[in-house]
Structure 1
Amino acid sequence: MSDDEYELPLGTGTILVTLPDCEVDVAVPAGGEAVDPRAAAEAALDDPHGPPIESVVDADDQVCVVVTDVTRATPDEQLVDAMLDRIPADRDQVTIILGLGLHRPMTDAEIESGLGPYADLAQNHDPDSAVEVGTVDGVPVLVNPAVVEADTVLATGMVEPHQYAGFSGGAKTVVIGAGGEPIIRHTHGPEMLARSGVRLGRIDDNPFREFLDRAGDLAGPDFCLNVTHGPAGILGAAAGEPRSVVRDLAETAREALSVTVSGEYDAVVGGVPAPKDANLYQTSRAATYVLLGANNPVRSGGRVVLPARLPEGAGDGRGERRFYERLSAGESANAVFEEMREGYEPGAQRAFVLARAMRDHEVWITNSEHPEVATDCLLYAADSVADAVDPGSRVLVVPDALTTLLV
């Protein structure tokens, strides 16, 4: 790779991007040092936040483990194995729920790949089957029946930058991943998302995160084992009480993922590693992380350019379909934003947030198998990154736009 070439993820591989006649800076976070996921999990279980898992689970408990879905690169098999190795319950006492939220169900092959020998214990979450366990601020908290019926609820999770929760993980795996539409409607609605503390990288005084944690007090998990990651791979693990786990790993992530930028750029070229580049719903997170983060480096009228294959098009889940329907029916980003300020269906919030970002900026998708999906949704499409960036532009390349905090 020469000095004027930039390597970006594309699918499970990479591409080299050349930007002739452009002034280019590259935002690469320190990244931290990769750790072995299983060793990190064992160390976290040895020194948990709160009581150890061995004292949380009784020998006759029915145990429900909620895990992440295919949209997050969490080493779920290793985390589940590490937890189940330490509890007195037998295998026939354990049910695993795949925390889909409103994403599409996972295939048998994906379940096998993600959970290995535990795949036969797993079932896709059905949000329509969720059962109420109480209310928070008058909002019903509904979760999967297996969660309700369990004596003990465990969870895996990935603590990574999240547009609304600040960082994902903790109680979110259960109350959103295994939750029903009412809590998703409330937490992802325009009133919540408009509140000042709801933003990328913030957990203190974040109303979204606070609501999730309070819902988790009702629904679980009783104990979680989470990891965080960066460009180098898995950076660490933490176990125990959900709030403390998120806080612990968010500190690790911030240190590893923050990059200071100054000035304004004509374009930001952002990498979207798999599995987030599978569909436009997930890929669009990279644009909003750049434009609606702590420090938006793009000038008014500038653009974000995202190479992404999009083999699933807009996406196949309920939320993904609602995202596509809202944007593809809109006359402009501003029109979609103004209409959706009055309310929208759970899952459509990604259209609302993306439309908000696109009122002042262009978003381009390149190298895609489905460029028509991007243009249907008010974005722009080009064959290559170079085709989407004007010569002479000042450009910031962010090799992993989903795990880089621009500050």
Structure 2
Amino acid sequence: MDFQLPYYKGTLPLHVPERNLRHVLVNRAEDFRTDRPEADIVRDALAHPIGTPPLHALARGKEKILVITSDHTRSMPSGITMPILLEEIRKGQPDAQITILIGTGLHRPTTPEELLDRFGREIVEHEHIVVHNAFQAEEMRYVCELPSGASLSVNRLALESDLIVAEGFIEPHFFAGFSGGRKSILPAIASQETVNENHSARAIASPGAATGVLDGNPIHEDMAYAARKVGLAFILNVAMDAEKHIVAAFAGDCIEAHAKGCAFVFDMCGVDPVAADIVITTNSGYPLDQNLYQTPKGVSTAAACAKEGGVLILGASLCDGIGGTNFEKLMRLGSPEVIRKTIEAIPPKESIPEQWCAQIYANLLLRHPIIIVSQHMEGQELEHMGFLAAKTFDQALEMAFQLKGADASVTVIPDGVSVIVRKSKEVSHE
């Protein structure tokens, strides 16, 4: 069986002997089709908001309006959505002072080139755009204590605005359940201390902190509470197919509209697990595969379909390197057991940036050999962090056969980020 798997801005080939291939897991986004133009889908959602009046009605009489959007690490189709969103706001308040705030969370600042790529020249040159910086303490303002006991502080622009609107997209998220909705506040425009505590070792270790799970998820519960307290009044969230085209949109209340969108995405992305000795996946290509810090998303999906001790293979370009100073320091501490114990000993109030991805990787490495397929990062660098390294999927698969035997079974998940592996008492062996 021949595959072309997402890698950077293209694909890499994979060849799996038919006698070894157990299953190929793809969600319905792979063949989801709609004849409706993307802009029409967005406009229709704005015309039929869930749980709120229309955005143009909310905008009436408001002077300072804040529009929060995703940063460079997300495939948000803002070139389509943002002009329509701004048009809808100005329909109700033509003279509004609108600020577009890039919700970076703890990521590096979005560059001018990345802003142009995301929005186009018209918006970049004519709208007021601010890039959030969670590390500028003087720009943060305290709001309240969250249900977990964490302290919530956010960008002052949110508290100085008369109306807060956010755009985003909904996809599976490996510990928040789903992206979108309330995440436009926490972590997107929160202080580093708030993000760190929301992503504490205790929260990440919760059984509810998992892909596709909202009920009983302490990370989601803090995020939803934060969105209400800060006053996120209206969201526009989209769902996309495998080609990153908008196939559905949900607008209105930050909790109700988001819940509708999550139900749609769960139905579109859910698959039943098929256990295998070797599981091969990707981190969805660029931009999500640009650094190692982002990649636990795809690997976590692979692990949900692997037998105990099974080999996980992840394709990721890592063109932007490891992706975080603290993450790198933690990953270089030593064995996975050392990393896990070090992070679990950190109290929630003392959580440090990026510890959560190192925690997840440590837990995965304790259970599975992980082979990273990257043509940008040197294999020796990956090996220093406990991984095995390969330049191609075929090389990685040969290494996996050496570990598990020539008759080892293989499951392929072409896009590990877009798939929700449903929980079940017994793993399917179809």
TM-score by length of 2: 0.87
Aligned residue in 1 for 2:38 = 37
Query: Which residue matches 2:210?
Result: 199
Question: Is the 2:12–2:393 contact (alpha carbons within 8 Å) kept by the matching residues of 1?
Answer: no
Distance 1:246 1:198 in 2: 18
**Could you tell me which residue of structure 2 aligns to residue 392 of structure 1?**
407
Match of residue 366 from structure 1: 373
Residues 376, 148 of structure 1: alpha-carbon distance in 2 compared, 3 angstrom cutoff: farther
Letter aligned with residue 304 of structure 1: L
Deviation at 1:223, TM superposition (A): 0.6
2:185 and 2:227 in contact (8 A); partners too: yes
- The question of 1:119 aligning with 2:129 is answered no
Query: Which residue is equivalent to 1:297?
Result: 305
Deviation at 1:155, TM superposition (A): 0.4
Compared CA separation, residues 349 and 36, structure 1 to 2 (3 A): farther
Q: Does 1:314 align with 2:322?
A: yes
Structure 2 equivalent of residue 382 of structure 1: 390
Alignment-derived partner of residue 100 in structure 1: 104
Determine which of 1, 6, 11 is the counterpart of 2:8. Answer: 11
Given the superposition, is the C-alpha separation of residues 289 and 40 from structure 1 closer, same or farther in structure 2, using an over 3 Å criterion? same
SS in 2 for 1:368: coil
- Sequence identity percentage: 25
Structure 1 contact 37–75 (Cα < 8 Å) conserved: no
Q: TM-score, normalised by structure 1?
A: 0.92
Root-mean-square deviation (CA, aligned residues, Å) is 1.8
Most deviating of 89-98 and 247-256: 89-98
The count of aligned residue pairs is 394
Aligned counterpart for 2:183 among listed residues 172, 189, 201: 172
Give, in whole Å, the separation in 1 of the partners of 2:391 and 2:115.
33
Q: Distance in 1 between matches of 2:60 and 2:18?
A: 65
Post-superposition CA distance 1:267-296 (Å, at most 9, x none) = 1110222111111111232102332xxxx2
1:56 & 1:374 partners in 2: Cα distance?
Answer: 50
1:277 and 2:274 matched: no
- Give the structure 1 partner of residue 74 of structure 2: 72
2:118 counterpart letter in structure 1: G
Residue 63 of structure 2: aligned partner: 61
Q: Does the 8 Å contact 1:340/1:352 carry over to 2?
A: yes
> Given that residues 314 and 373 in structure 1 are in contact (C-alpha distance below 8 angstroms), is that contact kept between their aligned partners in structure 2?
no
Q: 1:228 to 1:123 in 2, by over 3 A?
A: same
How far is the alpha carbon of 1:332 from its aligned partner?
1.1
1:253 deviates by: 0.9
Cα deviation, residue 76, structure 1: 1.8
Aligned to 1:134: 144
Following superposition, the deviation at residue 252 of structure 1 comes to 1.2
Change beyond 3 A, Cα 1:108–1:186: same
Change (3 A) 1:141 1:300: same
Is the 1:167–1:246 contact (alpha carbons within 8 Å) kept by the matching residues of 2? no
Report SS of the residue matched to 2:395: helix
Structure 2: distance between partners of 1:101 and 1:22:
45
CA contact (8 A) 2:312 2:369 kept: yes
8 Å CA contact 1:174–1:220 kept in 2: the answer is: no
TM-fit CA distance, 1:135: 2.4
Looking at structure 2, the residues matched to 107 and 91 of structure 1 have their Cα atoms a distance apart, in angstroms, of 28
Whether 2:168 is the aligned partner of 1:157: answer yes
Q: Distance in 2 between matches of 1:246 and 1:311?
A: 32
User: What amino acid maps onto 2:39 in structure 1?
Assistant: R
Q: What displacement does 1:114 show?
A: 0.8
Do residues 221 (structure 1) and 232 (structure 2) align?
A: yes
On the 8 A contact 2:199/2:356 being kept in 1, the answer is yes
Partners of 1:15 and 1:403 in 2: how far apart? 18
**C-alpha displacement of 1:21:** 7.0
